[in-house]
Amino acid sequence: MKYTVNEGFPYYIELIGTNDYKVLFQSNENIKLLESLSEEQASFRYAPDKWSIKQIIGHITDHERIMVYRALRFSKKDKTPLPGYDQDLYVYNGGFDELPFSIILNDFKSVRNATNSFIASLSHEKFELKGTAWKYELSINDFLKSTIGHELHHFEVLKQKYLSK
pLDDT at 66: 96
Orientation angle between helical segments 140-157 and 53-75, nearest 10 degrees: 180
1 CB-near residues (< 8 Å, 6+ apart): 11, 14
Tell me the pLDDT tens digit for each residue of 117-139: 999 999 999 999 999 998 889 99
pTM metric for this prediction: 0.95
The CA-CA-CA angle for residues 82, 52, 156, to 5°, reads: 75
- CA quadruple 63, 64, 69, 71: dihedral sign: positive
pLDDT at 9: 85
Using CA atoms, how far apart are residues 149 and 35, in angstroms rounded to an integer?
21
pLDDT at 165: 64
Domains delineated in the chain: 5-162 (1.20.120.450)
For the chain, 165 residues long, the average pLDDT of each consecutive 10-residue run is 80 93 97 97 96 98 97 96 95 98 98 98 97 91 96 96 87
